[in-house]
């Protein structure tokens, strides 16, 4: 059986990455979504192993110590998120292509680990102003949080060149087509690239 490949998506908050990832999972590409781990408590209706792998902060830190994560981040004190190496490796060994939705630093780290076996896609907003508008239109965050996210987005945009492909999400249908084309080309390509 041929081993699967990795497709990872990273983007600043409000770029439309989650919308694109969900849409791609519905396409006939044999993509399996990698469920992340978190130390935050489950929300109502969230299922362990389906939405997240829910771990205590102590258990999460133990897994960090043993190198169990491909990437991880402490977003707030004792609120960790990460990608379990064992989950990704299991799916790849089963011949499945794995789709990851990770932060920018995590995306760069995973690309570095997997090289040509991974396609790193960066989803970019058309501009910081458009990003700010999208975050405001969501109506879920205070102005202070929006400003924090916009500031972080400007920093994250400086890493776009570390990714294989940059998709500018100005028009959703165009962005979907660009994503599909990039992912299909990568999955159908041969493995004769050398590091």
Span 176-193, mean pLDDT?
85
Q: Tens digits of per-residue pLDDT, 98-148?
A: 999 998 999 999 999 999 999 999 999 999 999 999 889 988 889 998 998
Sheet holding 37-38, edge to edge: 53-54, 37-38, 79-84, 69-76
Distances (CA, A) of 84 to 51, 68, 91, 100, 125: 14, 6, 11, 11, 28
Output the 3-class SS for 120-175.
EEEEECCCHHHHHHHHHHHCCCCHHHHHHHHHHHHHHHCCHHHCCEEEECCCHHHH
Structural domains of the chain, count: 1
Is residue 105 one of the residues assigned to a domain?
yes
Residue 44 within a domain: yes
Identify the H or E element spanning 92.
Answer: helix 85-93
pLDDT at 193: 43
Q: Please report whether residue 195 resides in a domain.
A: no
Task: Give exposure, 68-80, as e/b (b: 16+ Cβ within 10 Å).
Answer: bbbbbeeeeeeeb
Range of the domain at 157: 6-188
3-state secondary structure of 184: helix
- The pair of structure tokens assigned to 50 is 């389906």
For residue 43, is it within any domain? Answer: yes
- Within a domain: 194: no
Q: At 27, which CATH number?
A: 3.40.50.300
Is residue 40 assigned to a domain? yes
What are the pLDDT digits (tens) for 16-45?
Answer: 998 999 999 999 998 999 999 999 999 889
């Amino acid at each position: 059986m041929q081993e699967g490949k990795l497709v990872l998506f990273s983007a600043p908050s409000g770029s439309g990455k989650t919308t694109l990832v969900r849409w791609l999972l519905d396409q006939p590409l044999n993509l399996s979504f990698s469920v992340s781990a978190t130390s935050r408590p489950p929300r109502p209706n969230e299922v362990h192993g389906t939405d997240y792998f829910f771990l205590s902060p102590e258990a999460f830190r133990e897994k960090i110590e043993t190198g169990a994560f491909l990437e991880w981040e402490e977003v707030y004190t004792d609120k960790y998120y990460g990608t379990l190496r064992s989950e990704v490796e299991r799916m790849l060994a089963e011949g499945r292509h794995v789709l990851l939705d990770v932060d920018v630093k995590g995306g760069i780290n995973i690309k570095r680990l997997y090289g040509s076996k991974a396609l790193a896609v960066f989803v970019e907003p058309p501009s910081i102003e458009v990003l700010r508008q999208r975050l405001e239109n969501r109506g879920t965050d205070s102005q202070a949080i929006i400003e924090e996210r916009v500031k972080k987005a400007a920093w994250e945009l400086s890493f776009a060149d570390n990714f294989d492909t940059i998709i500018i999400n100005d028009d959703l249908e165009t962005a979907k087509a660009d994503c599909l084309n990039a992912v299909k080309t990568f999955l159908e390509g041969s493995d004769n690239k050398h590091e």
